[in-house]
Structure 1
Amino acid sequence: IAALENGELGPLLSPGTLRGLEDECVTDVKVPGTLHFGRGAVEGGSGVTVGLGGPEFETSLANRVQPGVVAGTCSPSYSGALAERLARVGPPESEPAREASASALDHVTRLCHRVLADLLFQELQPHFNKLMRRKWLSSPEALDGIVGTLGAQALALRRMQDEPYQTLVAELHRRALVEYVRPLLRGRLRCSSARTRIRVAGRLREDAAQLQRLFRRLESQASWLDAVVPHLAEVLQLEDTPSIQVEVGVLVRDYPDIRRKHVAALLDIRGLRNTAARQEILAVARDLELSEEGALSPPRDRAFFADIPVPRPSFCLGLPLLLGRLPLSRLARPSLACLPRPRSPSLVRPRAQR
């Protein structure tokens, strides 16, 4: 009892038994890793830096494996069971080591998810490049390619355990919608008439429904993503300013990381140039930004518009002095309501000396 109280009691297992358990653990982890990730990822050869999470490791891993292999080996359940097994046979002071191993396994799982998502979206990028163009309005070819490619990977993804699978498919769901909306807000399409707006909005709704059906089949639990494209379609199709304001309010309520620049880009796409109407609509997003100053940003898995950059917005003339210098005939033209931002003085070329 005295030896136990003073910490003088040695380990319950003999040194030979401990070494045997260590060797067994190393072998159980190393052999599957060597088979699936390549000998370089395990032993540091072929220019791969040993140490999880480094860019060299991620780049080499993405070049060495296919999605099905990553899906089959990213589940932490097996390695997690080994960590729990060692913790049970170890002394109480091994708890910090168990927690550290659990954290490392979680990091490896997230790394594998990112590598797998990168591989999938590299394959999908040619299809996303065809979105929001004239042909997209009349042909489902681009979206069919996206849905078909993602659906074809479903069986490989389903080899994972439930918890990591749900995490991965939710991220794929989020990223697919982000990549779908990105070309829209970057202004690939410009609606020149109410008829065009109706066509674009209708196509957006059809695509949104098809993507929703796909991720339901994949058992995605990220249902918060389903409404984003229909909201954007409504903003494009509605005619009167109060209705657009209401729809933008719903949009910023459901996706609080949206900003005025995103709403302004959407108004540019629908061709809304009336300065007063634009300001009334943008005020909804501005009020949200002011109310959320100092608030925490949404977690990474709930971010959406934060991952969608948009071109620099135009600025609207609001200075009486500048307005007074323009002829009335020019002020009456809607196309001159907003002008491009002036370039920085450092970027303006000096006039050539005569």
Structure 2
Amino acid sequence: LGARLAALAARVVGDLGVVRCQVAPAYPPEYGALGVYARGYHLALAQQVSALARRPLDVPEMYLLLDWHSNAYPREVLGHPEVGALLRAQELGPLLPPETQRHLESTCIAAVKAKVEVAVAQELQLSEDRWPEDVTSQDMEEGLATRVTGLLRAHLDRAPQVTPEFGREMAHCLLGVLVAFLHSFQRKVERFLDTPGDLPTPPEGIAGRAIALANLCPPLRELAERLAQSGHPESEGRRREASVALERVTRTCGHLLTRRLLEELKPHFARLMKRKWPSSSDAFDAIVVLVTGFGQSLRALHPEPHQVLVSELHRRVLLAYVRPLLQGRQLCPSAKARARLAARLGEEGRQLRELFSRLDSASPWLDSVVPRLRELLVLEDTAALQMEVGALARDFPDVR
């Protein structure tokens, strides 16, 4: 097809060059021989191109024909230094009628959609088959994320070279393909991680898979953002769909990673707010050690999922820490007892703040709940105490 289109362009340029130099001078100027020949050649070329557009074409051929019609013909024929001005002067219009061009573009987009849908589904299945194996995060990214991104970017980069409008429609279509892929990816991740007991993999291995799967989200999110930047009026809704699916994947991975830690923390939290707590830091020290070690295990996470997971862990740990106090587990019969309890809260609140600061938590506002509880303990005025309790419940509804 490419050779035929090049030959047609060369024939038009060559023949009209001969007409201009040798044939047209034989006619009286009023005959407008150059215009007659130019219109005739344009009509013949338009018929040839329309016939090609009606043929069954594969995706590369449709790209080629659309690009030749929109770019190569205007550049190589209409822009030719000898015959281009002659053709432009006749105001001949496009070779393909607008409806034919739109039909060819729609056909190309539909063919690309069908082809890419099958390809990304195959890539996801191949990747899923390897999840129970000992696959590193880098292997998974270079596998699934890289190949899916490559499949979509090939068309995302190619289509705008035809026309910007065609590029926008193609990007919007590819974003729809990506959204469907991400929904399928989300379901497969949830099914895989929700049944870890069915897999012949030790808990540490499952945690590694969760980290690897969470690390797939940033490059896929970046791809969705780029596809949504095409300017299509309906792209924002699809971009939000993609974001929601990726957020659910990240949360699912984070839930599995933190579930085991929270189980290990339970007996230590149970020892807090009891009679020996103000005079012994053993339980709290154990909590800090476990959370610190867990934070070190998250170093393989990319910044985006790491931030989501650490922020949620920050919330869960503080909730587990303050809830026993709000439930009245620790009784303070005297002002001296309340002062001792407040001092303990102040010290441990500082350590929790420093701990989650080292883990790069994106929710530092959570750290204020412990100091505010400490302030409540030393309040003597009943009305002020009631007001502060109400404000605390409003600002931190989870602690109730």
Shorter-chain TM-score above 0.5:
yes
Match of 1:30 among 128, 142, 159: 128
* Secondary structure at the counterpart of residue 300 of structure 2: coil
SS state of the match for residue 304, structure 1? helix
TM-score normalised by the chain length of structure 1:
0.57
Specify the alignment match of 1:256 in structure 2.
Answer: 394
Judge conservation of contact 1:68–1:156 (CA < 8 Å) in 2: no
- Quote how far apart the aligned CAs of 1:209 are: 0.9
**Corresponding residue number in structure 1 for 2:323:** 182
Kindly indicate which of the two structures has a greater share of residues assigned to helix.
2
Which residue is equivalent to 1:122? 263
Distance 1:55 1:135, change over 3 A: farther
Match of 1:70 in 2: 210
Identify if the C-alpha distance between structure 1 residues 207 and 53 changes in structure 2 by more than 3 Å, giving closer, same or farther: farther
For 1:225, which of 333, 356, 366 is the aligned residue?
366
Equivalent residue number for residue 313 of structure 1: none
Instruction: Give 1:304's aligned amino acid.
Output: D
Deviation at 1:130, TM superposition (A): 0.6
- 1:283-322 matched pairs, under 5 angstroms: 303-305=397-399, 308=400
Cα-to-partner distance string for 1:304-340 (whole Å, 9 max, x where unaligned) = 32xx3xxxxxxxxxxxxxxxxxxxxxxxxxxxxxxxx
Whichever residue aligns with residue 120 of structure 2, its letter is E
* Structure 2 counterpart of 1:4: 101
State the match for 2:333 in structure 1. 192
Q: Which residue of the partner structure matches residue 150 of structure 1?
A: 291
- Tell me, in whole angstroms, the C-alpha distance in 1 between the residues paired with 2:236 and 2:368: 44
d(CA) in 1 for partners of 2:236, 2:104: 17
CA contact (8 A) 1:231 1:247 kept: no
8 Å CA contact retained: 1:170, 1:222: yes
Amino acid of the residue matched to residue 281 of structure 2?
A: P
| Inter-CA distance 23–186: structure 2 relative to 1 (3 Å threshold) | closer
Deviation at 1:245, TM superposition (A): 4.5
Residue 201 (structure 1) aligned to one of 342, 346, 357: 342
- Aligned equivalents of 2:190 and 2:385: distance in 1? 42
In 2, are the aligned partners of 1:166 and 1:221 still within 8 Å (CA)? yes
Q: 1:53 to 1:115 in 2, by over 3 A?
A: farther
SS of 1:11's equivalent?
helix
Offset at 1:191? 1.1
Any conservation in 2 of the 1:228–1:251 contact (CA below 8 Å)?
no
| AA aligned opposite 1:209 | R
Q: Alpha-carbon deviation of 1:181?
A: 0.8
Match of 1:256, as an amino acid?
R
Q: 1:164 aligns with which of 305, 311, 315?
A: 305
Shift of 1:69: 4.1
- Which residue in 1 is equivalent to 2:92? none
> Residue 25 of structure 1 contacts residue 82 of structure 1 at CA under 8 Å; is this kept in 2?
no
Q: Which whole-Å deviations, capped at 9, do the CAs of 1:99-141 have from their partners, x for residues lacking one?
A: 6444322221122222323222112111111100122121111
Amino acid corresponding to residue 25 of structure 1 in structure 2: E
Structure 1 residue 216: Cα displacement = 0.9
CA distance in 2, matches of 1:117, 1:249: 35
**Offset, 1:56:** 7.2
Bigger CA radius of gyration: 2
Q: Structure 1 residue 83: deviation in Å? A: 6.0
- For 2:91, the equivalent position in structure 1 comes to none
One-letter amino acid of the counterpart of residue 11, structure 1? C
- Which TM-score applies when normalising by structure 2? 0.51
In structure 1, stretches of 5+ residues that fail to align are 38-49, 258-301, 309-354
AA partner of residue 247 (structure 2)? D
User: Does the CA contact (< 8 Å) of 1:208 and 1:229 recur in 2?
Assistant: yes
Query: How far did 1:162 drift?
Result: 1.3
Aligned equivalents of 2:289, 2:391: Cα separation in 1: 32
Q: Give the distance between the partners of 2:99 and 2:236, measured in 1 at CA.
A: 24
Q: Distance in 2 between matches of 1:73 and 1:54?
A: 8
Greater alpha carbon shift after TM alignment, 201-210 vs 185-194: 185-194
Closer, same or farther: CA 245–116 of 1 in aligned 2, 3 Å: farther
Give the counterpart letter for 1:71 in structure 2.
I
- Aligned partners of 1:173 and 1:222 also within 8 Å: yes
> CA, structure 1 residues 219+101, in 2 after alignment: closer, same or farther (shift >3 Å)?
closer
Distance 2:282 2:387 in 1: 33
Counting matched residue pairs gives: 246
State the Cα distance separating 1:59 from its structure 2 match: 4.2
Distance 1:62 1:95, change over 3 A: farther
CA contact (8 A) 2:376 2:389 kept: no
8 Å contact from structure 1 (residues 166, 220) kept in 2: yes
Pairing 1:271-290 to 2, within 5 Å after superposition: none
Unaligned runs of 5+ in 2: 1-97, 136-184
Quote the offset at 1:2 in angstroms. Answer: 2.5
Query: How far 1:177 sits from its partner (Å)?
Result: 0.8
